Structures are given as C-alpha cells and as structure tokens.
Amino acid sequence: MSATARTSPARTAPVSSPRSPIFASLAGVIAVVVLFQAAWAGMFIREGKEYDATWVTVHARGADLAIVLALVAVVIAFVKLRTRKDLLIGSIALLVVLVLESYIGGLVGENAAVTALHFPLGMALMGLCVWLPLRSRHSASQPRVARPAE
C-alpha cells in the first residue's frame, strides 16, 4: 500500500463566514435587557404586595428598548452578515418574537388568559437571546474535504 493511500483526504482552507463583534455585543446587550425584563416583571408580580405601576412602566420601556436594539441587530445582520443566514434569520425571529411578546404583554391586564402565553413566550425569548450571541461569536465555517479521485 502506498503512503498516499493511508493518509486522510486532502483538505482545503475552511470556508469562513463573516463575524461581527458589534453584532455579537449587541445581541449580548439584548440578552441582558430580556433578562432584566424578568426581574422587572418580578417587581410587580408579587403575591401579597401592593401593585406598583412604576415597575409595569419600567417593564414596558424595557420591552421598547429590546425591540429597538433587535431592529438595529436585524439591520447589522442584513448589511454586514448577509451570508450568515443563521444570524439573519435568528435576528429577524428575535425581533418578531419581541414585538409579539410586547403586544401580548399589553393585553395581560385585560385578559388573564394571555398570561399563559406571555410567560412561556418570554422563556422562549430568553433561549433565543442566549443562542444568538453565542452563535454570532463563532464562524459558521465548515472545512471542505476534497474527494479523492476514483
């Protein structure tokens, strides 16, 4: 057996996908804002405590901030990371879910049944907010393997 038959197939340079530290940082900030959303909600959802509209307002403004930051993330993903479909679709999904969550959150006081949707959707948002900055830190590069000639 020749030496070339025992070696692994030749590899070419990895196909590198663009990365943006600005996008990754922005996605991380959005994740922190969403995390604070849970804390702020906890300030006004307390059994046996007097209702405090201040924390409801803080929670609502936090949602507005997260939506604006997510919109900026979509623009950055579209302009700088267009080839990273995972980040583009993920940032669009984040924006859409944030808008939906905010809309549903506005209905919570009028209809207690939507609370059953608002809380789990918030948990899904947290998951997306963890995935997006972690995914953006890594390039989606996959090494191309040259096929041996037959």
Handedness of CA 10, 147, 13, 22 (dihedral sign): negative
Q: Which runs of E-coded beta strand occur in 46-87?
A: none
Reply yes or no on whether the pLDDT at 17 is more than 70. Answer: no
List CB contacts of 150: < 8 A, sequence separation 6 or more. Answer: none
Q: Which is higher by pLDDT, 14 or 54?
A: 54
**How does pLDDT run across 61-113, given as a tens digit for each residue?**
999 999 999 999 999 999 998 899 999 999 999 999 999 999 998 888 777 78
Nearest alpha carbon to residue 142 among 84, 102, 93, 99? 84
**How does pLDDT run across 125-148, given as a tens digit for each residue?**
999 999 998 888 876 554 445 556
Q: What is the pTM of this model?
A: 0.76
**Does residue 135 contact residue 86 with C-beta atoms inside 8 Å?**
yes
